[in-house]
Structure formats: structure tokens, C-alpha cells
Amino acid sequence: MEPTSLSGLPSGVGEALEAEGVAELYPPQAEAVEAGLLEGENLVAAVPTASGKTLIAELAMLSAIERGGTALYIVPLRALASEKRAEFERFEEFGVTVGVSTGNYESDGEWLATRDVIVATSEKVDSLIRNGAPWIDDLSCVVSDEIHLVNDRSRGPTLEVTLAKLRRINEGLQTVALSATVGNAREIADWLDAALVDSDWRPIDLRVGVHANGAIDFDDGSRTDVPVGDPPTDDQTAALVDDALDTVEDGRGGSSLVFVNSRRNAESAARNLARVTRRHLEEAEREELDALAEEIRSGSETDTGESLAEVIEAGAAFHHAGLTSDQRALVEDAFRDRLIKCICATPTLAAGVNTPARRVIVRDWRRYDGEFGGMKPLDALEVHQMCGRAGRPGLDPYGEAVLLANDAEQSEELFDRYVWADAEPVRSKLAAEPALRTHVLATIATGFASTREGLFEFLANTLYAEQADDDRHLRSVTDGVVEYLVANEFLERERDGGREALAATSIGHTVSRLYLDPMSAAELIDGLRAAGGGGSAASDGTDTLDADGVRYAPSEDPDEQADGFVTYGRVDGDGKGGDGERSDDGAAAAAAGDAGIDLTPLGLYHLVSRTPDMYELYLKSGDEERYTQTYYEREAELLGAAPSEHEEVRFEDWLASLKTARLLEDWATEVDEDRIAERYQVGPGDVRGKVDAAEWLLRAAETLAREIDLPEAAVTSIRDARKRVEYGVREELLELAGVREVGRKRARRLYEAGIASRDDLREADKATVLGALRGRERTAETILENAGREDPSMDDVRPDASAAAAATAGAGTEEDEDGQSNLGDFR
């Protein structure tokens, strides 16, 4: 089937595809077309990675657009959204417009409505539905990429529910779902009332094998010797990477992708393999790599950045979530450009953007899992996804995926478990409390259901219902969740004649729209109420707003306390307990004495850190004592009642949150990034992640504080705390850091040079500004312009030396808690 013979596409598209090199549709693509893809039929395509799934999606969307409709493309990761946008934009010459909507990158809402194709993450789509984005109603085609992720415990249910909602809103909606090859594609197709294309076909051959005893046994029966024992390739991985580099096509050796099970392993393996890749570099490559390393170093002065730079110089790299998104993108691009010869990665890369390699090496096939209680073998699906990264279209005659085994016995096990095995079936994870908590609330708040029965009727459209023998379990979890939501006043029961109806309260609507886990919202509300809505921190002493003794204790309705599950996270008592005394029974004494607890940044950071929407920091050895100590010292700042120290698990969580809060506080007091990374033993990417999450949650907290009528001073405290994490500065720099192009470092330099505000920037002596900015004229001009200065030009201005000196001295203004380790600190 040739692309030009397809009907129903915008004119010229067929020819354009042909020009791209699509002479003939791949068999699965042709099968999809025969199943009515171009006529709006539903379709599930379960095919291997890189076998033309994207074209299937494109054909569906283009034909929908040709019929006058619009399409939505749902991706699992933000990084994939931009990748897909770039891909789809090649159809702009046919008048097809593309827009993206994700959490951190949003095209204007109205503008989006004019796009033909919108790319969004599943959470964003869910959020858009909750917030009533009008264009959702007008969609004619939805494509869901990587739909096997409904199997994911934490994020799968959202995709499942979102698809159910989209299909409910618009009965005629064409649904196209793309999946990896899974055990039960038929079931997914049945759920979506779709035709099924289930195929193992690939455009590039993939050979999968197991390496043991110096040779790879491939699934096609062939065997390749790759001896081990010749330093510096004296381990399996190194030997295989070396071997791949020896197979030269068009002048360059084959690249490898190594999957390992921890960040530490990724970094140490990269160091090890750098010795191998280094020997395969040419002079020109060496220079380019040096430039890349330099870019990494200038981007983030952390240990992680430094060790990444070091291995990059040798043509290797590691890749995991501790890297910033910049660092990751840089590594991915350089690998695609064939400059980096080998990446050692955690599973970030298996599900992420497209980074094919000549050879994939699955070094570790077990990973620690706390719930499982030990090292758990990876799912076959996961390993298949990794292996699917082997084979670069147009470069490799075939891809090779190699699993590593210690001996013949293990080799056999790996063949059975992964090489010959089919991927596991996808199972809905919807019937779990955390998932239902948020989706039940949203379902009612957005009017998809208004009674208990209505809820079940809606949930019958999910994959869970398709798979479950009966819905008793789902019903019982749902009932429990409804109780929880009612007890926390997110939902209320109404008598409507004889029937009992469910409706979202005003707060419930807010929580749904904020996209918060209701449990996070409950935690935030309880914490804020327990604080008594005191004025802002000692900064200005205006505590007048709570002078009337207003205390925001929770309601004392005894019914609410009947069930531990229902009242989880609520604060008992009347808020008149002793002065911040710790309560040993978990009740009472939440609020402090007469002055009320101020909302300090640390208190707020701790509050947001203990919500389920914040990923927990791990307590390492020694942390338990360290943060117990911190807890005693700063107990008065923390909001709400601490769990008793005897409740070990909950108390540990409390300390872990305190650790996160301290990290955020460090960030908000201008502690250097590398210092933070070292102190908490995290990567720069983790710091950014924590800061982003805190920013988001504090914004939500601000809205909730208004909703529950806390005094304006409390709202202001929250906003200031939020801005301080957002910019990473102390209070006095908030205004400066709000100026575009002024970050935490420049703000501090300007401040030390005597410039403290936007007005100062407009009025200040230019020589001072230039001096503070270390003589960078372009930067200084841009900043002055952004601050609204009439005459930003720096022509003929010479930097003021004393300002430069002050700025430099001020750059080290961080608190030092290590004390003796820093004798040079004269402050």
C-alpha cells in the first residue's frame, strides 16, 4: 500500500510522505488503514517500538482534520510532548497547526482552541477537562500513546479515567491507542470498542541474546564470541561496548545503551566504560566532547555535573533523574549525534525520548523494590521496551539487545524469563484508594456523576470494569473513598426526594480544579487551620489580624471521628494546648499558645512536603538523629500535630518531610546548589524537582487559604514563602529576583552593591549596576530594560570597582552549619 493511494488525507500529504522515504506502508500500518483508520474507526495498535506507530497516529489525525475535525495526542511524558510537536509540525505546510499543553509549557488556552492537533500529557488533559476547556467538546480524534501505561500503579488510572471521560463527552470520538506488544491487547481493544492490530513486525531486525562465558547466544540460534578478560575491557559490559564500537559502519563504531538498576551504578559504570570509549575517539570528536563537557560544567557546579563532564570528555555518559533536564537533553542529543558512544542509564531512558543505539545491554535485570521486599525481577514488558531501543533506522542493518548472565544456568533463566517470554498482560490499577480519591472527587465535581450509582455507571467505562469479574471490590473502595471525601468536606450528601445525591462542596471544586490529591488538600487545610492563620513571620510584626484570637480549629462534629480512615490527617482538639508541646497521643496541642504560630517558611515547606503529592526524600543513615534534633529545635514552626515518636513509621515520615523542608529552606536562603546536592546527597535534578513541586503545592495552599478564609496576612506569608523557593532567595531579594533575567545570584550581587529594588534599578548609577554584574554589558542592558528603565544603554559606562567588590563579597552569604569546616568564613 502506497501513501499516495490513501484517500481521506489532506492533499499533498501522500506525496510528502513518499518524499520522506515512505514508499510503502509497513504491514501494521496497512492493516490499520484496512481496519478503517482513515474513516474514523477506533483502533488499538500493539506493535513494537519504532515500527511506525507514529505514522499510524498521524494518518488518523490527518484524516480527522481533513474531515474538519481536531485531534488530541496524549503522551506520558512532558519531554515526549515537545518531541511529538516537532514531528507533527512537518505537516504545517498542509495547513495543519500544532499546539502543546503541559504543566510547564502551556500555549494560551484560546490559542489552543484554534489548533488542529494538540499534544498534551494525560494529567494535563484530565486537568483541562476538570477546568472545562471548551475545545475538549469539539475533538473528533484522540490518540493515546503508550497506552500500556494504564498498568502503572501511580499514573495509569489517570490515563484510564481520562480516556473514559473523553469518550463519554463525545460519543463519536475516534479513539486510537498505541501500545507496546502486550499480553492482552485484545482486552484493551474490547474496552475501547476498537479494531486491533497486533503485530511483532519490525522494520529493522532485532536480535536478542544473552552474554555468558565470553559469548552471546542469540535468539536466532547464532553465537558470537565476545571474550572477556582483556583489560581494560575486563568485564562483560566493557567487552560488549568495546565490541560494538569495533563494528564500524560508515566510519564510526556502533553505540551502546547500558541499562542498570540504580543511579550510583549508572555513574560508576559510565566511569568504567569511559576507559573503553576513550580509545575509540578521533581528534575532532575529542574537541567537540570537550566543548560539551565545558557546557555541562558551566550549567551546574555540582559533583554530579562534574562527574558527568568527566565521562563525557571520554565519550561516555550516564543518564538518570538526578540530572537536570538540560543535562539530560544534552546527553540525549550528543548520543543521537553519535558523539557520545555509550550511555549508562536507569529506566528514565527506556520510556523517554527516542534514543536508539546499535547495541542495548541490559546489565541489571533485578531492581530493589521495598514493597516486594528485595530485588525484584523486571517485568518482561520493561525489558522488551529496553531492548526495543536497539537498532537505529537507516544506520544499522539490525539492532542487538544483550542481557548479561553470570553463567549458563542464569543464561537459560534469562532466555525463559525475557527472550522467549511474552510481555505481561496490562491490568487496570484503578481500584486503589489513592487513585479513586482524586478521580471520584473530580468525576462528581465535573458533573459526570451525581449519585453513588452514577459513579459506578461512569466507572463501568473503564478498563477495570472490562477486566474485573465483578465490581464488588471497586464498589467497596469507592464507598470508602466517598466517606473520606464527605468527612473532609470535599463532598456532601444531599437528599433529593428519596434519592441521595452527591455534590462537590466549594472546597471540593477548588481541590478538583487545582489537581490536588484530596489527601494533600486535607493535609494542607488541617495544617493551615492548626496554625491559626497567624500573621507573617517576624519580618514586620503585624500580627494584628489574629489579635482577635481567631483559631482555625477543625469542626468538632463527633461523627467525623468515628472512623480512623475517615479522620486521617485531621487535627483533633480545640487548639488551646500548651505552648507547642509535642503531643504523645497524636491529638490536641496542635496550635501553640496565645501568640499563635506564625506561618514561617520552614513550617510551610514542611506542610507541603508531607502531602502525598510530594515525592519523599529518603532518610539516610544518621538522618534520623539529625532531623530528630532539628525537630526539637524548630518544633514550634511546624504546623499541626506531630505523630508520636512511638509510631515509628509515621514519625519517620514526619522527619523525612522535615528533611525535604530543610532542603527547601536552604534553597530559599541562597545556599549554593552544589552545597545542597552534597548535604542531602541528591542530584541537581532532584533539587529542581523538589523546588518545582513545592512551588506548585504552595500556590495551591494559597488558594486553599483564601477558600477557608484565613486572614490576608496568612495568605501573604504563603505567597512569600512560595516566591522564595521559586527564586531561591532570601526575603530581601524577592523584588529583584522578580525582574526577568535576574536570578538568585545576580540579585544577590546587585543587592550587595546597594541596589535593592526595581526602583533602584531604574535610578541607580549605571557604573554600579555594571560593576555588580561583573562588567557584562549585554546582561546589564537587558536587566535594566526589563526593570523598566528608559535608557538602558551601557555605552561608555565603566564598571564600578567597589560595586564589583561588594557583589563578590556578598556572593558567599550563606549560612554555614558545618561550622569548623569553614574557618575562612569571617562572618
Partner DNA sequence: GTCAGGATGATCTAGACAGCATGTC
Partner DNA sequence: CTAGATCATCCTGAC
Annotated binding site for ATP: 29
Report yes or no: 656 and 619 within 8 Å, Cβ to Cβ. Answer: yes
Task: Residue 433: count other Cβ atoms within 10 Å of its Cβ.
Answer: 13
User: What CA–CA distances, in Å, run from 683 to 334, 628, 678?
Assistant: 21, 24, 8
Choices 390-398, 537-545, 618-626, 789-797; region in contact with DNA by CB under 7 A? 618-626
Sign of the Cα pseudo-torsion (121, 376, 436, 473, in order): positive
Applying CB under 7 A, does 693 fall inside the site for DNA?
yes
Applying CB under 7 A, does 610 fall inside the site for DNA?
no
Report yes or no: 769 and 790 within 8 Å, Cβ to Cβ. Answer: no
Burial class (CB in 10 A: 0-12, 13-18, 19+), 79: middle
Q: In the complex, what is the shortest distance from the CB of residue 156 to DNA, in angstroms, rounded to a whole number?
A: 10
Choices 7-15, 125-133, 385-393, 418-426; region in contact with DNA by CB under 7 A? 125-133
Q: In the complex, what is the shortest distance from the CB of residue 435 to DNA, in angstroms, rounded to a whole number?
A: 11
Applying CB under 7 A, does 110 fall inside the site for DNA?
no
Residue whose CB is less far from DNA, 351 or 767:
351
Site of grid cell 494529567: 123
Report yes or no: 673 and 682 within 8 Å, Cβ to Cβ. Answer: no
Residue ranges in 67-86 that form contacts with DNA under rule CB under 7 A: 76-79, 85
Applying CB under 7 A, does 398 fall inside the site for DNA?
no
Task: Residue 513: count other Cβ atoms within 10 Å of its Cβ.
Answer: 17
Applying CB under 7 A, does 352 fall inside the site for DNA?
yes
Reading the block at residue 297, the C-alpha cell is 560544567
CA distance 211 to 233: 15
Applying CB under 7 A, does 615 fall inside the site for DNA?
yes
Q: Which parts of 589-668 are beta strand (E)?
A: none
Q: Which parts of 243-293 are beta strand (E)?
A: 248-249, 252-253, 256-259
Applying CB under 7 A, does 103 fall inside the site for DNA?
yes
Applying CB under 7 A, does 700 fall inside the site for DNA?
yes
Residue ranges in 152-211 that form contacts with DNA under rule CB under 7 A: 152-155
> Rounded to the nearest 5°, which phi and psi values hold at 119?
-105, 130
**Contact string (CB under 7 A) for DNA, positions 129-148, x = contact:** --x-----------------
Choices 60-68, 98-106, 454-462, 810-818; region in contact with DNA by CB under 7 A? 98-106
For residue 795, give the 3-state DSSP assignment: coil
Choices 190-198, 330-338, 448-456, 610-618; region in contact with DNA by CB under 7 A? 610-618
Applying CB under 7 A, does 413 fall inside the site for DNA?
no
CA distance 419 to 680: 40
Residue whose CB is less far from DNA, 96 or 571:
96
Closest CA to 308 of 283, 332, 281: 332
Reading the block at residue 771, the C-alpha cell is 560593576
For residue 128, give the 3-state DSSP assignment: helix
Residue whose CB is less far from DNA, 11 or 104:
104
Residue whose CB is less far from DNA, 625 or 825:
625
Residue ranges in 507-536 that form contacts with DNA under rule CB under 7 A: 513-515
Considering only 275, 367, 679, 745, the residue that binds DNA (CB under 7 A) is 367
> Rounded to the nearest 5°, which phi and psi values hold at 443?
-60, -40
Number of residues that bind DNA (CB under 7 A): 65
Residue whose CB is less far from DNA, 322 or 508:
322
CA distance 584 to 587: 8
Count how many residues are written for the chain: 827
Q: In the complex, what is the shortest distance from the CB of residue 131 to DNA, in angstroms, rounded to a whole number?
A: 6
Applying CB under 7 A, does 629 fall inside the site for DNA?
no
Applying CB under 7 A, does 261 fall inside the site for DNA?
yes
Task: Residue 287: count other Cβ atoms within 10 Å of its Cβ.
Answer: 11
Considering only 448, 484, 605, 696, the residue that binds DNA (CB under 7 A) is 696
Applying CB under 7 A, does 263 fall inside the site for DNA?
yes
Residues of this chain that bind DNA (CB under 7 A): 76-79, 85, 100, 102-108, 120-121, 123-124, 127-128, 131, 152-155, 261-265, 268, 320-322, 346-348, 351-352, 366-370, 372-375, 513-515, 613, 615, 618, 620-621, 681, 686, 689, 692-693, 695-696, 699-700, 740
